[in-house]
Structure formats: C-alpha cells, structure tokens
Structure 1
Amino acid sequence: MAYFAAVLARTEDGWDASETELDNVETLADLADLAREAAQDEDTVLVFIEQEDTWFAVVRVDGEEDPRIFVSDAAAAKRSSYGDVVLTDELVGRAGDSEFDNLDDLVTELEDSADADDEDEEEDEEAPAAGAERVPVGPLGDAALLADLGIGEKELLGISSDPNDALGEIADALGCAEVLEAVR
C-alpha cells in the first residue's frame, strides 16, 4: 500500500512542510524525534500520515511534551505498515491489561476467529475474541489535538469519516494547504 507522510512545522511566518520517509521510524518516540528535528524553538509540529485514502493519522508534537495522536480508523491502521507506530499501547488502552502481548497477537487471534467462523457456518456466531474492542473500527485518539489551531473535535471527527483527501481538508483549515500540496 502506498502512503504519504509529511511534517508540518509551525513558524513565525506560517507553516513549513516537508515530505518525509518513515522507513527508519519504528516507534512513536522515533516519530516524535523526527518531528522535533523540524521544529523551530519548540513550536508545534504536526506529522501527517495517510495510507491510500484508507486511514490517516495526525501526530502533534509540542516541544518536549508527549506526542498527541489522532487516527481516523484504528482497525485500518493496524493492517498497514505504519499502524504500529501510531497505535501505541496507551492509545488503544492495552498497557499491561491484556492477554495479548502486542497488537499483532490480537490481529492473529481475530483472524483465527474469523477463519473458524467461515469453516463452520452452522455453529452459532462466536463472541468477539477477548480484546477485540480494543482496536476499534473508526477514530481513535485525541480528536481535540487541533482545537487551538482552529479544528475542533467535531470537525476532525467529521473529516475522519471520509479519509479521501482528509489531510488536504485539515491543511486547508490550518491555512497551510498550499505548502502541503507543494510536497505531495
């Protein structure tokens, strides 16, 4: 699947955008470090990640504060190459309280459950695998992470319901659509 990733750094003159590769990014900490490198004087930096209009994520880094994350569709993100970067244990609410060691174990369990359902259609429908609700279909994270920049929670959730050009809509609302399009 093709993806697009960009770093948008807020400056005194507006926003600077640059396309970025995520090949060397394995964790949220790596992504936050990448964002901080683009920051000027600890100003706000946003990382946009989009996977073929299927899902998008916005990661906000303000100085040395913990990154804030919004993912438009956690289940779709989990199935992608870069989902593990943004779907942290804390975000999905699984830190130490699940029978699964990681999200890959959960996906395997869900797939095994679906295969078992397909093999025996006469059996009653099985209950969802334990922990299945922890990687929801739909938005996950801090929907208010852009509120002080002009995009409220309801607006971001509305944008997330149709990920087709969602990053363009967000950039337009932030006043940086032109700089984002220049790096696309």
Structure 2
Amino acid sequence: MYFAALLARTEDGWEASDTELDDVETLSDLSDLAREALAESDAEDDTVLVFIEQEDAWFGVVRVDGEEDPRIYISDGAAAARSSYGEILLTDELLGKDPDDADDLDALDLDGTEDGESATADDDEEEEAGAEGPDSETVPAGPMGDTGILADLGVPEKELLALGGADALSEIADALGAAEVLETVR
C-alpha cells in the first residue's frame, strides 16, 4: 500500500493534497506535478515537498524549490528499488552512475543468439525486468540522497536519518508544523 502527498508552503502555513502517481513515470513527471501544485497555491517561497511511503518498507521525500533541480531523500534504497514508485526516485545521479557512461558490453548482443534469431520468452522477460529500473541487489540498503533536504525547515540530518517505520512522514510533518494538514489527506 502506497501513500503519496504534496505539501506546499504558503503564507498561511502548509497546504497538503493527496496525489495519484499512476501517470508519473519519471522524476521529471513528479517535479512537474509538484510545480503544478505550487502554481495552484499561494506559495511564499516556492517550496513543495512530495512525500511517498510504502507501508513500513521505505519512505521518500522530494523537495522542489521553484525551477531548481529536485532534491531527493530515500530512507532505504534497496527497499525502494523493489518498488515502482521507488524506482522513479532512484535516478542515475542518486545511484552515482553517469548516464552517458554506458558500458560497451551493454551495447553488444551477448544473449547467445545469432543475428536475426529471437531469444526465448524467459530471456525477453529478464531483459524487460532489467531495463525497467535499478536492480535491488545493486542498490545499497539504508538511507540515500540528500540528508540535509529538510534541515532549513526544522528536520536536521541526524533526525531524518533516525526516522523509519510507519510514523516517519508524520514525524517529519510534525516538525514542519504540518501534521494536521497531512493527516487530512492521509
């Protein structure tokens, strides 16, 4: 079970809205969704937080400040890698990969077939699964990303790293002064 919400900071405090991530396929899509929420609110400092949570397995926070690149924090990279929504957050940059630095072996056809010969159905499924996102075995367990993402909003790195479990997003919202508005969309 997933939970996703947007928090936009306004003159009157935080505004929360739940959001559907069904049409979100990339971090860029998620950032656009956050910016749309920002345009709909009377935000004072152009800050929107996207909270994503999968039960007790992991949570993620994406911070979008105006037109700047989004900042990302994930509580458990390996758990997020096993999730379709987590894969959105696990960008090449976050994983320390250079997207332009493709391995030459990846470009070669080394599936054991001759040119023009099709691979088996099992091979096709393995290739599709590998192409969808990061492999949870290669993504480290534990926190990933910008641990200072919320420091200026009242959640220091040390506190953020200590959070986990089902109440993590509620604890963050409480520190932000947004607990009540978050609970209205939960």
TM-score range, shorter chain: 0.7 to 0.9
* Alignment partner, residue 52 of structure 1: 55
TM-score (norm 2): 0.78
1:68 to 51, 57, 71: 71
Post-superposition Cα deviations, 1:111-158, rounded to whole Å, max 9, x if no partner, equal xxxxxxxxxxxxxxxxxxxxx3xx110000001010110111111001
Where does the alignment leave 5 or more consecutive residues of structure 2 unmatched?
108-129
> Contact 2:81 / 2:133 at 8 angstroms: preserved in 1?
no
Mapped partners of 1:174, 1:26: distance in 2 = 28
CA RMSD for the aligned pairs?
2.0
Q: How does 1:2-21 map to 2 (within 5 A)?
A: 2-21=1-20
* Alignment partner, residue 114 of structure 2: none
* Alignment partner, residue 135 of structure 2: 107
2:155 to 147, 151, 155: 151
Q: What is the number of equivalent residue pairs in this alignment?
A: 157
Mapped partners of 2:177, 2:158: distance in 1 = 19
Post-superposition Cα deviations, 1:8-55, rounded to whole Å, max 9, x if no partner, equal 000011000000000000000000000001114561000000001210
Mapped partners of 1:4, 1:98: distance in 2 = 34
User: Cα 1:16–1:143, aligned 2, differ >3 Å: closer, same or farther?
Assistant: same
* Alignment partner, residue 118 of structure 2: none
Mapped partners of 1:79, 1:26: distance in 2 = 15
> Contact 1:16 / 1:179 at 8 angstroms: preserved in 2?
yes
Q: For residue 163 of structure 1, report the CA deviation from its aligned partner.
A: 2.4
User: Cα 1:145–1:91, aligned 2, differ >3 Å: closer, same or farther?
Assistant: same
Q: How does 1:1-184 map to 2 (within 5 A)?
A: 2-39=1-38, 40-41=42-43, 43-96=46-99, 97=101, 99=103, 104=132, 107=135, 110=137, 132=138, 135-159=139-163, 162-184=164-186
Post-superposition Cα deviations, 1:92-122, rounded to whole Å, max 9, x if no partner, equal 11123464797757528x4xxxxxxxxxxxx
Structure 2 letter corresponding to 1:69: I
Q: Secondary structure at the match of 2:166?
A: coil
Mapped partners of 2:55, 2:47: distance in 1 = 26
Identity, in percent, stands at: 67
Structure 2 letter corresponding to 1:139: P
Where does the alignment leave 5 or more consecutive residues of structure 1 unmatched?
111-131
